[in-house]
Every structure is written in structure tokens, then in C-alpha cells.
Amino acid sequence: MQRLQDLVRRGYVRWTAGVVPRGKIARLAAKFDARYGTSADRNERRRRRRHGAGNGFLVVYLPARQPYAVWWLLVDDDHPAKHYEALKDASEERISMPNPHWCPELWQADYELVRLDNRWTWRMLEERRAEWQTRLREAVRCGDRDSRQLQVRQAVYSLSKLPGFRGIRQDAHGLIRLLKSDWQRVRYKGEPLPATPRLPPYVRRVRHE
């Protein structure tokens, strides 16, 4: 997610994506490298920029224990891939990130790359936020005390493990406020909140080209 965010921020806003079987990832990478120079080193990328040839990157996401990978090809405005691929503009058609438990038959994206306050960041899709709101409300209203407290603790733990990008942290903050206000309204003072909600920690920067 950080890799995609950084590339779009640096101007690689033209993109296309797809799904490939795990065993064909190397073949796909070799094909895009031969066509679009996606594995070029820094010197080669500088030469391409000087000659107006543009640059491109291939990003591959392979969730654990999944037989398929998702790939994204991102290029700048000068890259010739615009003549051969059906490229989209990240400012108009948002890049999405699938649930790590997705399968090819049931694609479910969790996050989308958006521009908030003039900065690129990831946030939850509206559908995922709605699912979280439903989960929290149902946990607070569960009739059995032990089940209720378990569901709330599990939800709080899951919230703290969300990817710590700025937009997602804003989503998590809103969900935490919902949980606290809903708990106070429904449970009042008869039962303390069984866990202390915390925002997910900020993403640790990983250096790359």
C-alpha cells in the first residue's frame, strides 16, 4: 500500500491492474519489464526521463496462502504504455486494495487511494466503514454480557491492527467515537467499556527507490 501511495504521489498516476496466478508472477514481471522497463535501475530511469520516454513500475501484492496475486502497472504521463494499455487516472478512478482473504470469484476491496487535504492517503471504502459501524452497534447491543464484552474486545483489537495510513486512522477515530458514544448511551454507567480503544499506529516508512 505504501508503494502504491508513494508512486502516485510522485506522479505515476496512470494505472491499470489485474489478477495473475501465483505461478505466473515471474513471467508477468518479465513481460512488463521487456515492454515498459519496469525493472530499470536509477540510471536507466534518469536516461528515460531526459529523453522523454517516461517510466513505469510494476507492483505485485500476493496475500498469504492465496493462489492468485494482484498487480498494478503505474506509469507517468510520458510513458508509451498509454498507447497500448487501457490506463486509468488515479485522480478519477481510485486504486483499491483487496481484502487479504479475497478470492478471484469474490473480489472485495477494503481500501481506496484518495487525495485528502491535498495529500494522497488510503482510507476505507464506504461499504467497509458501514460494515464496521454495524459490527460495533451489534456488539454493544448483544444481550449476553460475556458475548458482548468478547465482541467489543475483538472489535477494538481489530481496529488497532488496521493499516496506519492517515485516512484509515481518521476512519478508525470516527469508529472509536461511535463505539464510545453508543456504549455510553446503551449501557450508561451500569457496565464499563471492556477495552480501551486505540488508533492504529502510523505506518512505518520502508525505504525504496
Residues 36-78 have pLDDT tens digits of: 999 999 999 999 999 988 999 999 998 877 888 999 999 999 9
Q: Is residue 154 located within the same domain as residue 72?
A: no
DSSP letter at 98 equals E
Q: Is residue 90 located within the same domain as residue 114?
A: yes
Q: Is residue 114 located within the same domain as residue 134?
A: no
Q: Is residue 204 part of a domain?
A: no
Boundary residue ending a domain (98, 124, 150): 124
Q: Is residue 10 located within the same domain as residue 51?
A: yes
| CA distances in angstroms from 88 to 24, 92, 126, listed in the order given | 24, 8, 21
Q: Is residue 10 located within the same domain as residue 104?
A: yes
Q: Is residue 92 located within the same domain as residue 157?
A: no
Q: Is residue 209 part of a domain?
A: no
Phi, psi of 129 (to 5 degrees): -60, -40
pLDDT at 84 over 60: yes
pLDDT at 209: 53
Q: Is residue 148 part of a domain?
A: yes
Output the nine-digit C-alpha cell for 15: 494505472
Using alpha carbons only, how large is the chain's radius of gyration in Å?
21
> Is pTM beyond 0.85 here?
yes
Q: Is the dihedral of CA 57, 14, 120, 9 positive or negative?
A: positive
pLDDT at 64: 79
Number of folded domains in the chain? Answer: 2
Q: Is residue 146 located within the same domain as residue 71?
A: no
Q: Give the residue numbers spanning the domain of 161.
A: 126-187
